[in-house]
Structure 1
Amino acid sequence: MAEIKAPVFPESVADGTIVEWHVTEGQQVNRDDLLAEIETDKVVLEVVAPDNGVVTRIVKHVDDIVLSDELIAEFEAGASASAAPAAESAPVQEKQATDGGAPVQAAASTGGVEADHKDQSPAVRKAAKESGVDPKDVEGSGRGGRVTKSDMSSPTLKADSSIKTDSGQPVAEAGPRSESRVPMTRLRKTVANRLLAASQETAMLTTFNEVNMKPLMDMRAKYKDQFEKRHGTRLGFMSLFVKAATEALKRFPAVNASLDGNDIVYHGYYDIGVAVSSNRGLVVPVLRDTDQMSMADVEAKIREFGGKAQEGKLGLDDMTGGTFTISNGGVFGSLMSTPILNPPQTAILGMHAINDRPMAVNGEVKILPMMYLALSYDHRMIDGKEAVQFLVTIKELVEDPTLLLLDL
């Protein structure tokens, strides 16, 4: 009998919560099949089968708290479902398989939502039984459109479906004063607590500036096809902002530093976090050693992070550390905002939407694509003069990208 344990968490993660089991006791699985999902303060970790065999006992159930490397299930390698004990959570009956003659476990027909959706996870079946919502009518956010527990907590119906109770009768449409109560996920609670702590425990101040995006847009339009052909990734705006921020951090070390009690920690490296929106909330994967990365490296890594975030595949290593953060609210249409610090970092850059605006240029009015930039910083660590000069440096480098190439 083998043990299935939770992953080993890093020091920054105290524990996790079982959010979903994808198998039941007595179920036969293949090597690397997904068994369970554990949500931590930062990411959702997957637990996979160590070998071909059977999950004989589930020790930790949905919503249970688990510690690093803690036993969550027992597993018998090489076993078949016929040799495993029947699951205790539901009555079962054995039937002969038609394709090979091997006996397999099948749930007894009990009627209603639960019997019709044996392929769903236990958490989803439980939610379906309690709410009377049929999982097949719900838009799934999991891999391959799989319906998850969170989908059942606040169901989004498919276009051709309607919510029905387990008796088959439609539920009355909610009135204009309807409301629903959904528990916060562990990730959302952690984000909320960190943002609240940042506003309460730091002397946060924000300075603004604006940048003319025309030179950068012209450069992108001229070279984007060659760039993609040469490097295999598209040329965006974020890579230049990352490189400009890196250069500005070199010139103003206090912005790249952090506070540890009464000590100031000056970092001799440049790890820039890029805020990414995912289905589970805001996450901040980190670009390591950006001073050693090319623009193509930055673009490729950001694209990789975006894909991982949407699939829930970001690992703890992807989001650990960071000396500075860039958040781009402009992709959602934000014109101006005051980004909140990501402690223990002492500054964060906010990018915003690009809008055409009339600007005075050498005594003439011109229509230019302008973007507001915002730098929120901890005034305990960074003086206003340094913050303003740091933001102006980014503005100058973005408005004249050749300064970066010539190291001026």
Structure 2
Amino acid sequence: MDRRPGLSVRLKLTLSYAGFVMLAGALLLAAVWAFLLRRTPAGRIWEITDWWPSPQLLLGGWGPAAFVPAAVAVMAFLLVFGLVGGWFLAGRMLSPLTRITDAIRTAATRSLSHRIRLPGRSDEFRELADAFDAMLAQLEAHVAEQRRFAANASHELRTPLATTQALLDVARNDPGRDTGELVERLHAVNTRAIDLTEALLLLSRADQRSFTRESVDLSLLAEEATETLLPLAEKRGVTLETSGDVTPAIGSQALLLQMTTNLVHNAIVHNLPAGGTVTVHTEAHGDTSVLRVESTGSPLPPELLPTLTEPFRRGTERVRTDEHAAVGLGLAIVHSIVRAHDGTLDLVPRPAGGLLVMVRLPGTP
């Protein structure tokens, strides 16, 4: 935004200090003039009782004519004193602001690792510096996350494209090759690329919070998700169980259904090879709606849990060999949807193996 040049804050404070000193001096001299000189009888200096000093003694024998030049000299001294003192005082008071400004300019050059770390006790400037340091830390973490996400997304998108290129090269170099197998493999690769692109778009939509909020029953979403994924659970030998009463929440029905489906799908895929179970339960606690998805599986190390919600993390990094292979965005999408709905997501490892996922969302009063 273009602005016309103006006075600096330091100069404004200096002029304010000097003006205040001048005003105080003028009022003081006016009081002396009004009470000690204007009440002096004509032709003599006002004398009072012996126990009170006379105005002549107080003024050193000055009369009204001698008072004006002295007052002008005093005002000139006060002006210089106010300007010089105000300049140094303003500079001392505004020195933290200069440090904050330098930090902002450094951050503007993409150096987000710089921090102000203003020393001293708490005041307005130090609160501003601490708030700016916290903002820089969040921006640095966000930029690092975005860069990591962009690199991973580029790698994931390049994989199906490179596979498609390799299959086409083989078909071109070997015209007699069976085209049915080639078409089937190209279809699988293309489906995976489409799924990955849709997952990225859904993740972006959740992060931008560009959705309409409405009343949603989490219990109905849980039933719909389990019915949709029942064939996959039966194929893998996983038992699905759903329970819970009416659990109202406020949010996007489409996004919350995607969140529930991702959680149930993740629980089925990362389960025991056979005889596993997945339990989905919903309940309402006051103004909070809770969705619990508990699954059996192999034990998870505690240090792995914080990374499960990062994009393109696949838990135990098992090899994906079926048509339901994930793109590594399942829990990342869940985390973004929960965050967009002002909720919380908790991942708790089960002692016997597997994972307990708890989603808490704002419900209806």
TM-score category by the smaller chain? under 0.3
Structure number having the greater strand percentage: 1
TM-score by length of structure 1 reads 0.21
Q: Between the two structures, name the one with larger relative contact order (CA 8 Å, sep ≥ 6).
A: 1
> When you count helix as a share of all residues, which structure comes out higher?
2
Select the structure of larger CA radius of gyration: 2
